[in-house]
Structure 1
């Protein structure tokens, strides 16, 4: 019972700190002191330490010498790598089971699409949770535990990318259903290569646009100098 309570407390603290990062209450570079957080949450330092380690694994915080733990800055190359890995893991899964989804899977995907339609504008946490649940159907169907673990480790990296993208999250909430409906149609087609192309485009086309925008911005800065 004590272990269950400890785990629940740790998870609650992890969720609360994560939310503060995503909403911008804790900005990149903000130092996260264990004692101050323990006082804030009315806990010992042990669950705080575990929560910070979990967030470190998710890529949300980082430890460095002479600084300790702080909120991590997500760089464009981090976003690109996260999306590239997610895309390739999902394509591997699709090829493994030859895009043969069961009707139960398709029903689940349609249900998530409906939830996407009803998400509150600007609710980034729910937006990304729905996104992760949708894509999880793909990797779970493959039944490959290591592949699922690799993919799952990138989930909150995906959340960080969304929080750091500078996108209008209210617009994203409105667009999410349409974006994933297009992907659903490719998955439901049963055409493995068409589904793989759709998954790759889903992830990488926004990243390529981001790269182009960054390159253009750097070029403009160089010209200005």
Structure 2
């Protein structure tokens, strides 16, 4: 193959805009041969008008659906030159059973002692605890499978995601393992498996946290608000 042929084969399928903006490419329909206005032609025209009306109705429904979803977050699915394809980020619904799991684990003696210790809410304010419930929902375990270790795995991960100061979360190890360092590598292995079980879907929005808290607004841990600390 000559250099000229290679150069032509490597050319992009479209020319980028010099304006620097993303381009929306719309493929126009190719007109077919004209149809005589016979009885069959009238039937064809009528069918065509019906298809247009149906297409218009479908387009209107799609626009209404898109308009109703404008407030939802979107992810970039793929990029091709200046073309960008978007996909809607899946909004996970937290089932009541995961709220019940969370409340059950709040009665665990180690969890209770840990929350009582964190008086300044450096590791376990209401938003970080809301993320624990979100992670329980995403991990895909049965509700009866969640144990104390899962609570601390989720809370540790929530601190990974949201907190700039990473030092306070290290105290989780003291409540789990005391002064021993031997089991910390196992904890990090379990944390990695926990993240994988969620499909690396670890980001939780403020709106999701507030929805989780609104499910049972009188639950005592939702009073763990940093803004109320002098």
Structures share fold, TM-score greater than 0.5: no
Q: Which has the higher contact order (CA 8 A, sep 6+)?
A: 1
TM range (shorter): under 0.3
**Richer in helix (by share):** 1
Give the TM-score normalised by structure 2. Answer: 0.24
